[in-house]
Structure 1
């Protein structure tokens, strides 16, 4: 038996003793889950009836240690991070390397059980080997780091002429994206409604910060940025991206909105008037599977270019996660919720 935090119905979680999984198929690996983070996308699954089924074990950002293996590529004791997408590799989009655009994909922590359990069986193609000099706490941040790396790849960032970049939304994804851009050498201005998040952005390398509730500061920043990245998905962000962009600027949408948007025509037509280029980014994969984003994420952590501890707002064990569940629901925790499942180095 093992313990798991099970979402038994919307807004109701229980710590349960469930059967420990066993290996059955060739290539499968039994992973002892060490740490898992909660993604912003998990909120609607926990609290807004958007779980695919009940009961379900959520989270897709996690690391662990191989307990047993039916794979020639992994052996007991290996450190791993999890790749949550399970593409349909025969889908036409997958054959083009667009794995997250395939129709019938699976997803660990959403369409099947995820990281809030002590052990799980993962196919070998859904694992990333972790070098000895990266600890398992850090490895749990590889998946969210690849989100911005994929966006930058989609936008062709390294081929663009960028003098100044703007980041809108300094949550976990935004703060990770900021550190990547700083490591690339860009001049980055951070935008958010939270002074605390902006102060943290400054500590992590932002050259300037702007509270978007300050109208004068915000308007003074219009038309300045060659590259504008929206990471929050908050409705108010979509009203300012076109205004921040310089002429011939590029906009990257990483965040996903959860409410209807109504944009005035003057704001929308800035796409025409400034001849802007806008790109969307969905998930974090490219060919060859799972993509160079995952290799680069490991390299960035090896170079110690990315700090994770400043991003963690609440850290609990698997058993004590229910104690902060109400605060999580009421948005009283501003930052990453990080859970020790079995722990490890």
Structure 2
């Protein structure tokens, strides 16, 4: 193949299905025939009123790319070509992409904390991503999958990594009660992973009935609407003590306050939702010795998640509620901006590996 199609962001409200020339992979790069690419809320924010993360006037330092950019950072596929120096990925290998760029030379990278690399960014936001038939990515982004691994489920590994990294960043330990405020894809995956890791009680809160229903199936022992008597329900589930860790997965003052209200003395609030500013009740936090911890992105999460899926301990396919073809991509994304609906995770079926 010499050309491929991609969903490209030109400006807010301006998405185009375009044909581009496929570049052969350079040194240390891999050409992936993309099977599936998930739609993330960050994609929709860029489409609605971006740019937020997409570089427009100046190219991103690590990707060397600026708008127009191929969207999509949650993707899976098959290795079809490799550049010089790539020896561990035979052609035909099924892979998931861990799309965060890293310089590998800054202090954070040298410490192994590449999620906070000084030049960090994501393929699909700061560089060309996976909402395309083919994508070229650095070898360090590519994670090999076991034979037969479902490529649709593999496209959900990226948000699962966000969830797992958040849990790792927290002080959660098996046997503790936890609260998850916000049951979108990441919040639902937090619920599933906490249950798998031995939480005594997982309390989930979301206004949407469909999300609460799925949370119960994935492992939440109590599911609530924000309009319910949350304090009473949390108290009943924790013998009046409150939860050890509360995960805020929305990014708003209201949900932050709700998460904090369910927290025990000495507990921890883990922030996963993106928000510009929050008002903190510092006196209360100090008197109760409560901790606020933040989490962004992920590092070294994919191998554990792949193993959990292969062993049947984590069902990522349960997150997928809609699949649309690449041709339908721009229209589907624009509709989701105006009406996200009740779906959990929408995948774009890119079918790069099936194109003649």
Distance in 1, matches of 2:283 and 2:210, equals 33
> 2:334 aligns to what SS in structure 1?
helix
Q: CA deviation at 1:193?
A: 1.3
Distance in 2, matches of 1:339 and 1:75, equals 25
CA contact (8 A) 1:161 1:226 kept: no
Q: Of 312, 325, 330, which aligns to 2:338?
A: 330
Q: Which residue of 1 aligns with 2:351?
A: 342
Q: Which residue of 1 aligns with 2:5?
A: 3
> 2:327 aligns to what SS in structure 1?
coil
Distance in 2, matches of 1:217 and 1:252, equals 18
Q: Of 103, 110, 121, which aligns to 2:118?
A: 103
**After alignment, is 102-111 or 52-61 more displaced?**
102-111
Q: Which residue of 2 aligns with 1:288?
A: none
Distance in 2, matches of 1:121 and 1:41, equals 21
Distance in 1, matches of 2:156 and 2:352, equals 14
Distance in 1, matches of 2:19 and 2:40, equals 24
> 2:69 aligns to what SS in structure 1?
coil
CA contact (8 A) 1:179 1:305 kept: no
**After alignment, is 229-238 or 308-317 more displaced?**
308-317
Q: Which residue of 1 aligns with 2:278?
A: 261
Q: Of 176, 180, 186, which aligns to 2:193?
A: 180
What is the number of residues matched between the two proteins? Answer: 331
Q: Which residue of 2 aligns with 1:59?
A: 72
The residue correspondences of 1:93-172 to structure 2 (distance < 5 A) are 93-157=108-172, 160=173, 162-172=175-185
With over 3 angstroms needed to count, the CA separation of the structure-2 counterparts of 1:110 and 1:46, relative to structure 1, is same
Q: Which residue of 1 aligns with 2:313?
A: 305
Query: 1:33-76 CA deviation, whole Å, 9 max, x = no partner?
Result: 11010112222212212232331111111001011122111121
Distance in 1, matches of 2:28 and 2:318, equals 37
Q: CA deviation at 1:221?
A: 2.3
With over 3 angstroms needed to count, the CA separation of the structure-2 counterparts of 1:100 and 1:217, relative to structure 1, is closer
> 1:279 aligns to what SS in structure 2?
strand
Q: CA deviation at 1:230?
A: 1.1
Normalised by the length of structure 1, the TM-score is 0.90
Q: CA deviation at 1:98?
A: 1.7
Q: Which residue of 1 aligns with 2:204?
A: 190
With over 3 angstroms needed to count, the CA separation of the structure-2 counterparts of 1:153 and 1:320, relative to structure 1, is same
Q: Which residue of 2 aligns with 1:201?
A: 215
With over 3 angstroms needed to count, the CA separation of the structure-2 counterparts of 1:311 and 1:65, relative to structure 1, is same
Distance in 2, matches of 1:238 and 1:315, equals 32
Q: CA deviation at 1:327?
A: 2.0
Q: CA deviation at 1:161?
A: 6.7
With over 3 angstroms needed to count, the CA separation of the structure-2 counterparts of 1:220 and 1:138, relative to structure 1, is closer
Structure 1: segments with no counterpart, 5+ residues: 286-290
Root-mean-square deviation (CA), in Å?
1.9
**After alignment, is 327-336 or 141-150 more displaced?**
327-336
CA contact (8 A) 1:211 1:218 kept: no
Q: Of 262, 270, 279, which aligns to 2:284?
A: 270
Q: CA deviation at 1:344?
A: 6.3
> 1:8 aligns to what SS in structure 2?
strand
Q: Of 91, 99, 103, which aligns to 1:88?
A: 103
Q: Of 295, 300, 303, which aligns to 1:295?
A: 303
Q: Which residue of 2 aligns with 1:40?
A: 41
Normalised by the length of structure 2, the TM-score is 0.87
Query: 1:109-140 CA deviation, whole Å, 9 max, x = no partner?
Result: 11111011111112211100001142111111
Q: Which residue of 2 aligns with 1:49?
A: 50
Structure 2: segments with no counterpart, 5+ residues: 57-66, 236-240
The residue correspondences of 1:61-80 to structure 2 (distance < 5 A) are 61-70=74-83, 71-80=86-95
> 2:41 aligns to what SS in structure 1?
coil
